[in-house]
Amino acid sequence: MSERTKIDARGAYCPGPLMELIAALKLVRVGDEIEVLSSDKGSANDIPEWVKKVHHEMVGITEEDGYWSIVVRKAK
């Protein structure tokens, strides 16, 4: 059964949230999900782009009050 890990990267500037996501992905199993909370607008665009480039899966991105919730599934 897949698990979801939450990373609170609010307050971190680019490329901090992306780096935190990648470090977390190294530690989980294929199929597991990482939810990144980021207040950095650039990261809200960059993380989906990175996920597409390296062939993981975007589960979803939601704009909350002053931050984004970005959920990524480890695909490989």
18 binds other proteins (CB under 8 A): yes
Cis peptide bond upstream of 48, omega within 30: no
**What DSSP letter does each residue of 29-70 carry, written as one string?**
-TT-EEEEEE--HHHHHHHHHHHHHTT-EEEEEEE-SSSEEE
Q: Which of 2, 4, 13, 60 binds other proteins (CB under 8 A)?
A: 13
Residue of 7, 8, 10, 22 that binds other proteins (CB under 8 A): 22
Query: Which x/- pattern, by CB under 8 A, does the window 33-72 give for other proteins?
Result: -------------x---x--xx------------------
